[in-house]
Amino acid sequence: MMQESGPETKCNDSAVQNGGSTGNHLLECSLRESRSNGETPSLEASAAELAHFQQHQALQVARQLLIHQQQVSGGKTQKRNDKQPSLQVPVSVAMMTPQVITPQQMQQILQQQVLTPQQLQVLIQQQQALMLHQQLQEFYKKQQDQLQLQLIQQHAGKQPKEHILQKGFWLPQQQQQQQVTTQQLAFQQQLLQMQQLQQQNLMTLQRHGLLSLQPGQPSLPLQSLAQGMIPAELQQLWKEVTGSHTVDDGACNNHSSLDLSTTCVSSSAPHKPSLLLNPHASTNGQASLLTPKRESVSHEEYMHSHSLYGHGVCKWPGCEAVCDDYSSFLKHLNNEHALDDRSTAQCRVQMQVVQQLELQLSKDKERLQAMMSHLHVKSTEPKASPQPLNLVSSATLSKTASESSPQSLPHTPTTPTTPLTPITQGPSVITTTSIHNVGPIRRRYSDKYNVPISSDIAQNQEFYKNAEVRPPFTYASLIRQAILESPEKQLTLNEIYNWFTRMFAYFRRNAATWKNAVRHNLSLHKCFVRVENVKGAVWTVDEIEFQKRRPQKISGNPSLIKNIQTSHAYCTPLNAALQASMAENSIPLYTTASMGNPALTSLASAMREELNGVIDHATSNGSDSSPGRSPMQAMHHVHVKEEPMDPDDNEGPLSLVTTANQSPDFDPDRDYEDEPVNEDMD
DNA sequence: GAGGCCATAAACAGGG
DNA sequence: TCCCTGTTTATGGCCT
């Protein structure tokens, strides 16, 4: 009745002409499939209704995306008859990639290795967003035309015969006319409903973490939604670059719907979703709201791909609810973080955080460029890895990791996360190596140097847990940290092993090697005391011995002092710069910044610790200048809690119990020993 | 170049 | 016998 063959064929053709992207192709397949079900005239009406419904679904998503783009591009009032083909590229995208890059150009970029995988990912996502936008513009326009045409046809009653199928019976003529009017009303109601749903969907997108992107990435939900619509070449390129597990884009699985099924699906009839957003390229291990349930992809693979879920904990800002498995997490997500005022407010806050981070990043990048140009420092790694913005020399991480891992551990720049700066593009920071050292260095830091191991581990806990990167600390420092983190300040050897494997992904390999080293260090260093226990033997830390390890040299060797001071002097202005930048961008340290944002939390923590260190450093220079106490010891003094000291002991911070467990990420009430340990990985 | 620190490897012994 | 734990020695790299 609706003469649907014409417009739909046009629509399909246009979809193919637009590059045959996966998403449109899926939609087209779906539409075509639905039409194929209604070949006989008697079924034409129902088929049309089905197609209508599917179009309605597709239109919802399309409009939702367009509206978001309108909001991004200036908050223009949405018009239902938005037929303007003008491409409103989001600012963040337009700034980066004003044009769609062809696959050939992308290939060229890849061959030239100008970009890091992270940069490439961002670029690809931007490209996806652009292409999706274009496709959706066109698709949406055609859908609008088609819908209007249908409305006009219904209204004018020009159909030769109106076969309205309702409940399986043919209606009399009066009922048919009434049905037409009813349809019109329903149609208008649907259109109104669409607008409401668009808003809901948008909020759901934010709720599902789409806006909690890493700094440097455009805060654009489209990039995730667009992942199913990239051209095959880009997908292939991206597969090659990231090696990420992607799902083959051949089959259309109706279970491959969205995590936001609560809105998209529930808002419609329980039909098979016609628009499938392909969960392609869970890029960078980062989250997408897409939680495909395809059988070809293991469920656990995607457990780690949801940015709101990690290590069995809901990462919704301020939540941290423990979810045993992914399904329980989803239940929790839908129950506890449903669309309400609170979640909406949190989303807004998160949006602001992301925006501020992006702003901060851009400013700091400019500042960095100015600094580097001023210092004539050659950009360390223009195509290289995201350097961790670690107060430890980031080069140490990679250097030591690569150096002492003959098994060629994957210390690639594409590790899941990096300390403090999960994704940065280009040289994020001037490392100490790039300034002070030329060539490889090998240095590991004990607590006696300028970086408290507790704070570093606490700040980069997730990084160390996930990335097989060697921590830049000695075995002795790590062992000590493990012992001091324990409630009773004593651990058995096996518990030390467990701490290593639990805290560091690096130590989940080559167990024989590092375990031997642990035993060796325990025996070798006098600071580790073996105490016979009822259950066996436990190891404790003799802080006196630990602090005495190299006091004379540090206090007596001017070069060492200078080195430490240099390091310290380097860290302090860095944090000052960070603080200034955050202040400049009005990022409160302990409010929104720390609200579920590990990066900012870490920054704040690092700055807090560093400021403590500076204060204490100044104090120690003045009053506490006892010989044998290194500047680091003085700094460390901030992080230690003095216990009743032996009055006869004048050796400085003796009998100290570090308060490492007061680090931001440490939960003193948490029984780490009860946690599952990767014993099987040995 | 010497000395120290550290990582790694290995041998060895004792106990469960 | 095997494994775990603990000790000791040797070697090499890196740094000061």
Under 8 Å between Cβ of A589 and A605: no
Under 8 Å between Cβ of A470 and A508: no
Of A53-67, A143-157, A358-372, least confident by mean pLDDT is A53-67
Q: What is the mean pLDDT of residues A109-127?
A: 45
* Residue A398's pLDDT band (cuts 50, 70, 90): very low
Of A278-287, A366-375, A411-420, least confident by mean pLDDT is A278-287
Predicted confidence at residue A468, as pLDDT, reads 84
Instruction: For residue A523, say whether its CB is under 7 Å from any atom of strand C.
Output: yes
Q: Which two tokens stand for residue A536?
A: 């066996």
Instruction: For residue A43, say whether its CB is under 7 Å from any atom of strand C.
Output: no
Nearest residue, CA→C1' of C7:
A523
CA/C1' separation A509–B7 (Å): 16
Q: What is the mean pLDDT of residues A154-173?
A: 36
Residue A475 has pLDDT above 90, yes or no: yes
| Helices A631-638, A598-622: crossing angle, 10 deg rounding | 120
Quickly list H helices, A159-231. 173-207, 221-225
Instruction: For residue A529, say whether its CB is under 7 Å from any atom of strand C.
Output: no
Most confident of A120-124, A254-258, A404-408, A600-604: A120-124
* CB distance under 7 Å to strand B: residues: A 404-406, 444, 446, 473-476, 510, 513-514, 516-517, 519-521, 549-550, 553
CA/C1' separation A473–C15 (Å): 16
Predicted confidence at residue A357, as pLDDT, reads 73
Nucleotide showing the shortest C1' distance to residue A399 CA: C14
* Residue A483's pLDDT band (cuts 50, 70, 90): very high
Distance CA A563, CA A578 (A): 22
CA/C1' separation A71–B4 (Å): 63
Residue A556 has pLDDT above 70, yes or no: no
CA/C1' separation A542–B8 (Å): 25
Nearest residue, CA→C1' of B16:
A536
| DSSP assignment letter at A493 | H
Predicted confidence at residue A444, as pLDDT, reads 53
Model confidence pTM above 0.75: no
Distance CA A425, CA A386 (A): 6
Predicted confidence at residue A71, as pLDDT, reads 43
| Length of chain A counted residue by residue | 682
CA/C1' separation A625–B3 (Å): 27
* Residue A451's pLDDT band (cuts 50, 70, 90): low
Q: What is chain A's Cα-based Rg?
A: 30
Contacts of A546 (CB under 8 A, 6+ apart): A447, A476, A480, A525, A527
Look at residues A593, A242, A82, A214 and name the one whose alpha carbon lies nearest to residue A223: A214
CA/C1' separation A535–B14 (Å): 17
* Residue A519's pLDDT band (cuts 50, 70, 90): very high
Q: What is the mean pLDDT of residues A484-498?
A: 91
Instruction: For residue A559, say whether its CB is under 7 Å from any atom of strand C.
Output: yes
Predicted confidence at residue A521, as pLDDT, reads 93
Nucleotide showing the shortest C1' distance to residue A477 CA: B6
Instruction: For residue A524, say whether its CB is under 7 Å from any atom of strand C.
Output: yes
Distance CA A455, CA A608 (A): 10
Positions of strand B less than 7 angstroms from a protein CB: 4-11
Most confident of A270-274, A304-308, A480-484, A615-619: A480-484
Look at residues A269, A198, A256 and name the one whose alpha carbon lies nearest to residue A52: A269
CA/C1' separation A245–B2 (Å): 53
Distance CA A223, CA A219 (A): 9
Residue A472 has pLDDT above 60, yes or no: yes
| DSSP run (H or E) holding A92 | helix A91-96
Distance CA A116, CA A73 (A): 28
Query: Is A420 or A132 the better-scoring residue by pLDDT?
Result: A132
Nucleotide showing the shortest C1' distance to residue A473 CA: B6
SS3 A534: coil
Residue A369 has pLDDT above 50, yes or no: yes
Instruction: For residue A371, say whether its CB is under 7 Å from any atom of strand C.
Output: no
Q: What is the mean pLDDT of residues A274-284?
A: 30
Q: What is the mean pLDDT of residues A529-538?
A: 84
Q: What is the mean pLDDT of residues A417-421?
A: 38
Nearest residue, CA→C1' of B6:
A474
Most confident of A27-41, A48-62, A275-289, A632-646: A48-62
Residue A452 has pLDDT above 50, yes or no: yes
Most confident of A168-177, A274-283, A370-379: A370-379
Query: Is A153 or A503 the better-scoring residue by pLDDT?
Result: A503
Quickly list H helices, A287-417. 299-303, 326-336, 341-375, 394-403
Residue A326 has pLDDT above 70, yes or no: yes
Predicted confidence at residue A633, as pLDDT, reads 32
Under 8 Å between Cβ of A263 and A183: no
Computed over every residue of chain A, the mean pLDDT equals: 48
Each residue's pLDDT tens digit, A630-661:
323 333 332 332 333 332 333 333 222 333 33
Predicted confidence at residue A151, as pLDDT, reads 53
CA/C1' separation A552–B4 (Å): 13
Of A79-88, A298-307, A331-340, A597-606, least confident by mean pLDDT is A79-88
Sign of CA pseudo-dihedral A336, A340, A345, A351: positive
Instruction: For residue A530, say whether its CB is under 7 Å from any atom of strand C.
Output: yes
Nearest residue, CA→C1' of B10:
A516
Residue A471 has pLDDT above 70, yes or no: yes
Under 8 Å between Cβ of A419 and A602: yes
Share of chain A above pLDDT 70, in %: 23
Positions of strand C less than 7 angstroms from a protein CB: 4-10, 13-16
